């Protein structure tokens, strides 16, 4: 079983090589958002909620290098908001309501969904688009309905949720590295220009 899982994991990650351009472009868009004073808002359910929190921590804290903090918010972390909105408006609105209250044009919403069809992520993306916020989908399987809704769709085409999630965290680490390199480079350029 271990050999089978490792082999499947490697095959899934090898497939990311063909997505290099899309991955780099999405990372560059997030970097420009942060350099322009915007923030990243990330949402997902279950393991994808954990990935959202993990990615936000890499941006606000650090990934590998010392630098100042940048704004990123995982929309799955505030239990009072989640339970109030879930109770008053329904669980499908728990992320959209936060996008409406916290988002602004120039921010980016990253929706994570292994199925590509999580209704609360779909509604968050629809809300963000209505507010002129760019959207990125980190998706699985065939991308689901979110593939057509987001501005940039990153789809890990695999049918096994665990393999998709493993690829998603790899992609998030790749983006964190790209963003951090750009943020540090920007800071060094500003210092040398002073």
Q: Which two tokens stand for residue 194?
A: 């002073």
- CA 173 to each of CA 57, 119, 177: distance values in angstroms, whole numbers, following the listed order: 11, 26, 6
Domains parsed from the chain with CATH numbers: 2-193 (3.40.50.10490)
Has 18 been labeled as part of a binding site? Answer: no
- CA 184 to each of CA 57, 66, 72, 126, 179: distance values in angstroms, whole numbers, following the listed order: 17, 8, 17, 33, 9
pLDDT tens for the 194 residues of the chain, in order: 999 999 999 999 999 999 999 999 999 999 999 999 999 999 999 999 999 999 999 999 999 999 999 999 999 999 999 999 999 999 999 999 999 999 999 999 999 999 999 999 999 999 999 999 999 999 999 999 999 999 999 999 999 999 999 999 999 999 999 999 999 886 544 444 44
Q: Which among 155, 160, 139 has a CA at the least distance from the CA of 16? A: 155
Has 165 been labeled as part of a binding site? Answer: yes
pTM, two decimal places: 0.93
The separation between CA 165 and the C-alpha centre of its own chain, rounded to angstroms, equals 12
Has 58 been labeled as part of a binding site? Answer: yes
Has 25 been labeled as part of a binding site? Answer: no
Has 47 been labeled as part of a binding site? Answer: yes
């Amino acid at each position: 079983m271990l050999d089978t899982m490792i082999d499947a994991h490697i095959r899934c990650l090898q497939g990311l090589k063909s997505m290099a351009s899309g991955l780099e472009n999405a990372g560059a868009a997030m970097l420009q958002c942060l350099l322009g004073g915007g923030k990243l808002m990330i949402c997902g359910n279950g393991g994808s909620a954990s990935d959202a929190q993990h990615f936000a921590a890499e941006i606000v804290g650090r990934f590998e290098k010392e630098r100042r903090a940048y704004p990123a918010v995982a929309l799955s972390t505030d239990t009072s908001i989640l339970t109030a909105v879930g109770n008053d408006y329904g669980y499908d609105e728990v992320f959209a309501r936060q996008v409406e209250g916290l988002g602004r044009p120039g921010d980016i919403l990253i929706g994570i969904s292994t199925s590509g069809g999580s209704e609360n992520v779909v509604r968050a993306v629809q809300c963000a688009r209505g507010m002129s916020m760019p959207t990125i989908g980190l998706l699985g399987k065939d991308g689901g309905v979110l593939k057509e809704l987001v501005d940039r769709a990153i789809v890990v085409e695999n049918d096994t949720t665990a393999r998709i999630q493993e690829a998603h965290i790899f992609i998030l680490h790749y983006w964190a590295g790209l963003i951090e390199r750009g943020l540090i480079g920007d800071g060094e350029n500003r210092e040398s220009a002073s």
